[in-house]
């Protein structure tokens, strides 16, 4: 009788536990349909009850507002797919935006635009690397590691900016978000769509997505199969950091300045978009299109409630209820999947 290696045994166990691919595709499609149906229903409700919501500029405005947070949510999807979390998304975005201001503002370094953008992306990659290394190498739980990074990034943003906004005097930078390469569609929305396509490709067609889902499904089996889990965790957090930096560029370019206290709390919106879109907090399942729809749903809710004159504190209550419902639905789906 031939002995099997640990890798062969791990692969056999993973194959035994693997869900039916047809059933998995059906469930993913249903989740997208539910999220899309919720978005359409909310939009129709506000068309009826929110004065001015039917205006021609509402939809482009929602897309513009969604772009930065939506791009950050795309990166967070990969992290949550591993059963991890990234609480530093919001303040990491702020730090990247502040650094973009320092790199590009004529009152500071005044670097050429391509150089400043590349350095800003590098800052995002560095933040992701530090998060990934703390989690994968030092063994710090993702919640604690990224909570610490959230506070560090917030503090550095205030220190480097001297607690004041940084004006970026560049019409080209401003056009990154507010220009119109395609008539009627702001560049920020176009970048969001392109990033969604790239993220979907990364998740479904590359090792980054495959290993993120594998780690989230069963980290120990993934490790026993010969995959360097530590290395891939670091890479996955770096991917999230890169998307955070892109979101920072879109956010600061939209207003033309960097605000050092602006991003605190945005991590909750990004995570909420991911969860609403169908990515499981338990890991092992992710949905990029769902994340895009979730981000649009969050901003449609916010915009509609504002136009109805609902106070901001009640907007937070509604958003919290939506997130709770999304998590509850995720728990129901996982319970039913385990029972199959």
167: enclosing H helix or E strand: strand 166-167
Per-residue confidence (pLDDT) for residue 19, from 0 to 100: 43
203-212, 222-231, 272-281: least confidently modelled range: 272-281
| Phi and psi, residue 137, nearest 5° | -95, -45
Residue 222 has pLDDT above 60, yes or no: yes
Q: How many CB atoms lie within 10 A of CB 32?
A: 18
Q: Are 337 and 285 in contact (CB under 8 A)?
A: no
* Angle of helix 171-178 versus helix 187-205 axis, rounded to 10: 70
Residue 9: pLDDT band with limits 50, 70, 90: low
23-37, 54-68, 156-170, 236-250: least confidently modelled range: 23-37
Q: How far is CA 186 from CA 53, 60, 193, 195, in A?
A: 19, 7, 11, 14
Residue 334 has pLDDT above 80, yes or no: no
Q: How many CB atoms lie within 10 A of CB 65?
A: 21
Per-residue confidence (pLDDT) for residue 1, from 0 to 100: 47
pTM: 0.87
* Angle of helix 266-276 versus helix 312-339 axis, rounded to 10: 40
Residues 6 or more apart whose CB falls under 8 angstroms from that of 329 comprise: 34
Per-residue confidence (pLDDT) for residue 58, from 0 to 100: 84
Q: Are 101 and 161 in contact (CB under 8 A)?
A: yes
Q: In sequence order, what E strands does 191-328 have? A: 257-258
Mean pLDDT of 110-137: 96
Mean pLDDT of 127-148: 96
Residue 203: pLDDT band with limits 50, 70, 90: very high
Per-residue confidence (pLDDT) for residue 27, from 0 to 100: 55
Per-residue b or e along 33-54, where b marks 16 or more CB atoms closer than 10 Å to that residue's CB = ebbeebbeebbeebeeebeebe
Residues 6 or more apart whose CB falls under 8 angstroms from that of 297 comprise: 35, 38, 39, 42, 273, 276, 322
Residue 7: pLDDT band with limits 50, 70, 90: low
For the stretch 48-86, pLDDT in tens is 888 778 777 888 889 999 999 999 999 999 999 999 999
Mean pLDDT of 15-43: 63
Rg (CA), the chain: 21
Question: Where along the chain do its domains lie?
Answer: 57-335
CATH code linked to domain 57-335: 1.10.3470
């Amino acid at each position: 009788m031939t002995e099997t290696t640990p890798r062969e045994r791990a692969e056999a166990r993973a194959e035994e536990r693997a869900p039916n691919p047809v059933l998995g595709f059906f469930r993913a499609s249903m989740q997208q349909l539910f999220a899309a149906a919720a978005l359409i229903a909310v939009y129709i409700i506000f068309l009826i009850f929110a004065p001015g919501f039917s205006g021609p500029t509402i939809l482009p405005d929602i897309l513009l507002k969604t772009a930065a947070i939506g791009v950050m949510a795309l990166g967070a999807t990969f992290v949550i797919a591993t059963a991890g979390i990234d609480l530093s998304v919001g303040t990491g975005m702020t730090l990247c935006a502040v650094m973009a201001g320092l790199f590009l503002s004529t009152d500071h370094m005044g670097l050429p635009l391509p150089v400043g953008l590349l350095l800003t992306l590098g800052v995002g990659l560095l933040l992701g690397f530090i998060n990934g290394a703390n989690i994968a190498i030092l063994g710090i739980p993702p919640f604690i590691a990224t909570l610490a990074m959230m506070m560090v990034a917030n503090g550095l943003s205030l220190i480097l900016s001297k607690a004041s906004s940084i004006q970026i005097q560049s019409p080209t930078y401003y056009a990154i978000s507010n220009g119109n390469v395609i008539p009627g569609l702001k560049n920020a929305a176009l970048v969001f769509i392109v990033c969604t396509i790239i993220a979907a490709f990364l998740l479904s067609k590359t090792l980054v997505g495959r290993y993120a889902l594998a780690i989230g499904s069963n980290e120990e089996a993934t490790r026993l199969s010969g995959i360097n889990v530590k290395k891939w965790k670091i890479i996955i957090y770096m991917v999230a950091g890169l998307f955070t930096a892109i979101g920072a560029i879109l956010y600061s370019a939209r207003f033309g300045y960097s605000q050092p206290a602006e991003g605190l709390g945005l991590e909750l919106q990004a995570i909420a978009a991911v969860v609403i879109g169908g990515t499981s907090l338990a890991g092992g399942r992710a949905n990029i299109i769902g994340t895009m729809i979730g981000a649009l749903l969050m901003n449609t809710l916010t915009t509609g409630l504002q136009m109805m004159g609902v106070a901001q504190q009640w907007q937070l209550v509604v958003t919290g209820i939506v997130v709770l419902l999304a998590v509850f639905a995720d728990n129901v789906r996982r319970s039913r999947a385990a029972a199959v």
